[in-house]
Structure 1
Amino acid sequence: MSSEVEKLTLPVFMGTLLNWALFGVLVVQVWIYYTAFPRDRTLTKILVAVVLLIEILGTLGNTRDTIRIFGAGWGDIAVLDDVGWAWFSVPIIGSISAAIGQSFFAWRIYIIGNGNLYIPVAIIAITLCQLGAGIWTGVEICLAERFSELQFTNVTATALWLASTSACDLIIVSSTVFYLRRASKPEFKKTKAVLSRIIMVTVETGLLCALFAIFDLYLFATYKGANYHLALCIELSKIYSNSILLIFNSRAHIGHTPPNETTRYTSSDGPFRSGTRIPIQVQVELNRITSDSTLHTDSGGYEGKLEV
């Protein structure tokens, strides 16, 4: 009996811990974004706010189920087996967050690809597929009502959701790296350095999303009698949301600013009561990707103009 209970409770417990940890990271990233980039386009700011709102809803749903399992319904096997709000907070919220992130990356690839539509259209098509499969999965979970019933019913929806998510992430990573490397020009050293950093951030975030989805699919397909995949699936949406914010905030640097340096924007909490100033600031680096997708420097003119 204890092993059966562990199969139901341990994945939910671990997933909830990781979910809240990543939610905290997301809140910090949102604060950094609005502090460091007050001049970004309104549409971008709205996108960040929507991402945060979606994750708040997902976190509340997951927290409600966690309290129900480990609090009010502790020791009741029927409560442990009940899907609760997981049908909404896991596949539906997860697929929506993934769709937002993948659509954002498709737009970036359209820009850096000089208007080439083939890859962005393919990404959007796969994104719509995973979004539909995610909603389909949520409906099936809601109708199943119990995890024990869900494990032995048709798994096509969940498999399609996770597989299409993984495929889309891999396409995003490979195409972004391809276009940025092709656009890199050795005569512009600063431009090349900025592009190298963008490639690194893209690979890190894209591969992380893909690996999470692939490993989640592996756990789901391998351990059909357990809920081990929920340990990753619960916080899958947070991976995408944090990836979006990490891309936005990769233009900023958090650290000490020497007295002889100037930056475009800075933000600090002001002086201490003793009169000393906080040495940690959020600043936008001199080389940055602006909202109009043009590479600028503050050294007087252009180091190079590159559509990214």
Structure 2
Amino acid sequence: MQVSEGGKVALIAHGPSLIGIFMNMLLFGIMIMQTSVYFSTYKKDPTWLKIYVAVLFVADLLNSVFNMVWIYDALINNFGNLEALATANWWFQTEEAMAGIIAMLVQFFYAWRILVLTRNYWWVSAILVTSVVSGLSAIGTAIGVGIVKKFIEFQKLEIVAILWLVGTAVCDVLITSALSLHLRKHRTGFSSTDSVLNKIIRITVSNGLLTSALAIADVTAFLASPTGIHIAFNYALVKMYTNSVMSSLNSRQTMVANEVSMGSTINKDGTRVHEISNFVTTNRSLRPQVVVNVETHEMIDVDNPSKVDVEWNDTKRHSPNNSVNAQ
């Protein structure tokens, strides 16, 4: 079966875009659920964090609206219009720009968490630099799309696109490495504490690997094929960022429950474990807990040994902590 010229254009750009937008909308549904869970569960979070989540949600919403408007305009309003199908418009440009902006918002949040947790300014500086470079490169890619316009000529944007996608992958790897190495270094040897640390590490690694893997797949497809197959990865990448940070925020309820169940867990050097609360929580700090056991003593007549034995035996027989009676 022969494919028309318009069909070839649609196969190059709009087929992968449609698949990517399907994934984008699916992940946006998960984002809606995660945002709802956050606002209903963490009502005592600081105002700035609630505003941050609201901004992420609005950005995600706008991204989905722009994507739907673009694909509808291209495939319905301009059905059969070869010139329109072969040319990108500003609706399409918003995808690259918002991908960079949303990625920076998420990576800045993780950089703040790493700063609070580790106080390591080298890690934070590296994360911020790579995040800004990749974010500005994404915006530059959007500007380049407006200049080139033709889908078939997007290979001209190779340098700025590589900076964007490789930069965001490197930034995600840095975030994952910084958190994982710090948490592994602060293992305590206590199973309850290490269990919580392992869960935090797994969440961190899985979120970081998903976003970095999609970014690498995006740039690989872009360089390996002149078709628009890389666009499918790009649409999913935006929502993976917002869902990763919401997953991290919403996992705090389970982490805090596990932390409370640990009681006053201490390190081998006698210090209280603070790393878990610093990573999991955002507006509270745990103070060292001190448990005092008070023993009571009763004065008895020691001049009469037989009386001492009788009273001691009587006390032991009626004591609620008597192991014999407890059995």
1:61 to 66, 79, 86: 66
Q: Say which of 260, 275, 286 aligns to 1:297.
A: 260
- Given that 2:9 and 2:86 are in contact with CA atoms closer than 8 Å, whether structure 1 keeps it comes out as no
1:75 equivalent to 2:80? Answer yes
Match of 1:223? 225
Shift of 1:186: 1.1
Counterpart of 2:169 (choices 146, 166, 171) is: 166
Instruction: Kindly state the Cα deviation for residue 89 of structure 1 after the two structures are TM-superposed.
Output: 2.6
Equivalence for 1:142: 146
Match of 1:252, SS state, is helix
Give the direction of change, closer, same or farther, for the CA distance of 1:121–1:285 in structure 2 (3 Å limit).
closer
Question: Which one of 150, 159, 174 corresponds to residue 156 of structure 1?
Answer: 159
Instruction: Specify whether residues 87 and 71 from structure 1 end up closer, same or farther in structure 2 by C-alpha distance, changes over 3 A only.
Output: closer
Which residue is 1:271 aligned to? none
Contact persistence 1:61–1:85 (CA under 8 A)? no
Helix, strand or coil for the counterpart of 1:39?
A: coil
Partner SS for 1:227: coil
Gaps of 5+ in 1: 254-283, 288-295
SS of equivalent to 1:286: helix
Which amino acid in structure 2 is aligned with residue 141 of structure 1?
Answer: V
The Cα offsets for residues 117-164 of structure 1, whole Å up to 9 and x where unpaired, read as: 10111100111111111111111111222212333x242111110010
- Please report how far the alpha carbon of residue 298 of structure 1 lies from its aligned counterpart in structure 2 after TM superposition: 6.0
Q: State the identity %.
A: 27
**2-structure distance, mates of 1:125, 1:59:** 28
Q: 83-92 or 67-76, which moves further after superposition?
A: 83-92
- Are 1:13 and 2:14 counterparts? no
Measured after TM superposition, the shift of residue 209 of structure 1 is 0.3
**Cα deviations across residues 276-302 of structure 1 (Å, max 9, x unaligned)?**
xxxxxxxx8523xxxxxxxx5167666
* CA shift digits 1:179-216 (9 cap, x unpaired): 011112113x3222111111000011000000000000
Inter-partner Cα distance in structure 2 for 1:299 and 1:169? 31
8 A contact 1:87–1:142 mirrored in 2 = no
Whether contact under 8 Å (2:70, 2:92) holds in the other structure is no
* Separation of aligned partners in 2, 1:223 and 1:298: 53
On the 8 A contact 1:106/1:120 being kept in 2, the answer is: yes
* More helix as a share of residues: 2
**Equivalent AA in structure 2 for residue 69 of structure 1:** A
Displacement of 1:43 after TM fit? Answer: 1.3
User: Which residue of structure 1 lines up, in the alignment, with residue 124 of structure 2?
Assistant: 120
Gap change, CA 1:5 and 1:88, over 3 Å in 2:
closer
Q: For 1:193-251, what per-residue CA distance to the aligned partner results, in whole angstroms no more than 9, with x for missing partners?
A: 11111100001100000000000000111112x11111111232111000010100112
Identify the residue that residue 286 of structure 1 maps to in structure 2.
257
Matched residue type, 2:181: F
Which residue in 2 is equivalent to 1:205?
207
Aligned to 2:318: none
- Equivalent-residue separation in structure 2 for 1:194 and 1:300 (angstroms): 13
Which amino acid counterpart does residue 163 of structure 2 have in structure 1? L
Aligned-residue CA RMSD (Å):
1.8
Q: 1:299 to 1:217 in 2, by over 3 A?
A: closer
Q: Which has the higher strand share?
A: 1
SS in 1 for 2:257: coil
Instruction: Look up the match of 1:247.
Output: 248
Give the one of 113, 116, 124 matched to 1:111: 116
Q: Which amino acid aligns with 1:140?
A: G
Counterpart CA distance in 2 for 1:197 and 1:177 is 11
Distance 1:19 1:154, change over 3 A: closer
CA distance, structure 1, for counterparts of residue 83 and residue 67 of structure 2: 18
Q: 1:18–1:251: structure 2 CA closer, same or farther, 3 Å change rule?
A: same
Return closer, same or farther for 1:300/1:199 CA change in 2, 3 Å cut-off: closer
Counterpart of 1:278 in structure 2 is none
Q: In the alignment, is residue 180 of structure 1 matched against residue 143 of structure 2?
A: no
**For residue 140 of structure 2, what is the amino acid of its counterpart?**
W
Query: What is the CA–CA distance in structure 2 between the aligned matches of 1:7 and 1:72, rounded to whole Å?
Result: 19
Q: Which amino acid aligns with 1:85?
A: W
Higher radius of gyration, 1 or 2: 2
Please say if residues 101 and 240 of structure 1, whose CA atoms lie closer than 8 Å, have aligned partners that are also in contact: yes
Q: Give, in whole Å, the separation in 1 of the partners of 2:107 and 2:70.
A: 28
